């Protein structure tokens, strides 16, 4: 009995090595090869890239490609990065503050509106937005084809997810804290912005990171609500670039690579928060 008990963990460890190695090998083929393909193609000359082979570049033209991509269409990519940055920062900032206010009052105060608000939050997660009527509203308010319009669109569509996360987190902050602040004479605005809001730090990081990646990667809403080459977002430049059907695969994949870098950086630094946000938000939804 004792030998089998001792050999069992060892057998399991051996199985772990064997299974792990197999999984790593498979993951390289399935998940890393596509990224490696982007990388090597972005390093090739136009002629070599047009063969679409998965091979090491015979001569590296990576920096020439980067410069060429940036120069394309009168530096449209730089403007696109600027636009996407403004869009992401603006939308996420507004979303976080407004959703935190809703999530906080929704959790703290039992009002007869709560049922309706909760239903609307769920509806916002589930119902696909109506495209042309939204354009109609944007035109009516003078926001169509403006960056502000797209920022507000992202705010409206992203609020639901943020509210759910904030409501769940506010529940973990003791009410005694509110009461202490009230006794110290704080009004509702000071109570929220100076006492509660700073305590939401960890969930704010989660919301910011998840929504920043979502807004930055968004293609559909930009396509509908911010059309036109002049003030495109990065996803739209990539799409326009592809639509032109040029045979410049090296430049196309350099563009793909450049656009993949911001989410990669986010992932490296905020891995834990992204995972927390995506699973908890998902489980609540």
Partner 1 sequence: MAVAMQGLRDVERGTGRGRKHSLKKAYPLWFHLPAGAFYLVLFLVPTGASFYFSLTRWTLFDVEFIGFDNFVQFFREPALVQGFVNTFVYAFVTSGLKVVLGLALAVLLTSQIIGRGYLRSVVFFPVLVSTIGVGITFKVLLDPFDGLVNQVLGFFGITGPGWLTDPHLALLTVAGVDVWKGVGLATLIYIAGIVAIPQEFFEAARVDGASAWNNFRYIILPLARPATVTVVLLSLIGGLRSFDLIWTMTRGGPGFTSDVIASVIYKQYQAGFFGLSTAGNVILFVVVAAIIFPLSWWLNRKDNES
Nearest to 178 by CA among 194, 201, 202, 162: 194
Q: Least distance (Å) from partner 1 to the CB of residue 60?
A: 20
What is the DSSP-derived secondary structure letter of residue 171? T
Q: Which is nearer to partner 1, 132 or 172 (CB)?
A: 132
Q: Which is nearer to partner 1, 111 or 194 (CB)?
A: 111
Q: Which is nearer to partner 1, 132 or 198 (CB)?
A: 132
Q: Least distance (Å) from partner 1 to the CB of residue 75?
A: 20
Q: Which is nearer to partner 1, 73 or 217 (CB)?
A: 217
Q: Least distance (Å) from partner 1 to the CB of residue 260?
A: 6
Nearest to 217 by CA among 192, 238, 193, 187: 238
Which residues have CB under 8 Å from 91's CB, separation 6+? 150, 151, 154, 155, 158, 211, 215
Q: Least distance (Å) from partner 1 to the CB of residue 149?
A: 9
SS (H, E, C) 95-141: HHHHHHHHHHHHHHCCCCCHHHHHHHHHHHHHCCCCHHHHHHHHHHC
Q: Which is nearer to partner 1, 78 or 188 (CB)?
A: 188
Residue 221 · residue 214 · CB < 8 Å: no
For residue 150 the two structure tokens come to 């797209």
Residue 91 · residue 155 · CB < 8 Å: yes
Q: Least distance (Å) from partner 1 to the CB of residue 165?
A: 14
């Amino acid at each position: 009995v004792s030998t089998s008990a001792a050999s069992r963990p060892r057998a399991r460890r051996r199985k772990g090595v064997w299974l792990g190695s197999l999984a790593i090998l498979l993951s390289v083929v399935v998940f890393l090869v596509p990224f490696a393909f982007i990388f090597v193609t972005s390093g090739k000359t136009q002629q070599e890239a047009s063969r679409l082979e998965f091979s090491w570049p015979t001569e590296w033209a990576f920096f020439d490609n980067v410069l060429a991509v940036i120069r394309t269409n009168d530096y449209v990519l730089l403007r696109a990065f600027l636009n996407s940055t403004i869009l992401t920062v603006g939308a996420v900032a507004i979303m976080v503050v407004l959703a935190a206010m809703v999530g906080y009052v929704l959790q703290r105060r039992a009002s007869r509106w709560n049922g309706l608000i909760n239903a609307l939050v769920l509806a916002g997660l589930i119902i696909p937005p109506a495209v042309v009527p939204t354009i109609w509203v944007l035109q009516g308010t003078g926001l169509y084809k403006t960056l502000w319009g797209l920022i507000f669109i992202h705010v409206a569509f992203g609020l639901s997810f943020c509210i759910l996360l904030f409501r769940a987190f506010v529940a973990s902050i003791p009410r005694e804290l509110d009461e202490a602040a009230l006794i110290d004479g704080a009004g509702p605005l000071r109570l929220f912005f100076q006492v509660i809001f700073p305590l939401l730090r960890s969930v704010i990081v989660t919301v910011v990171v998840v929504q920043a990646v979502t807004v930055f990667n968004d293609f559909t809403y930009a396509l509908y609500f911010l059309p036109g080459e002049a003030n495109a977002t990065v996803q739209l430049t990539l799409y326009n670039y592809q639509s032109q059907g040029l045979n410049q695969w090296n430049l196309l994949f350099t563009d793909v690579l450049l656009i993949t870098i911001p989410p990669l950086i986010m992932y490296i630094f905020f891995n834990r928060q992204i995972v927390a946000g995506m699973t908890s938000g998902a489980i609540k939804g």
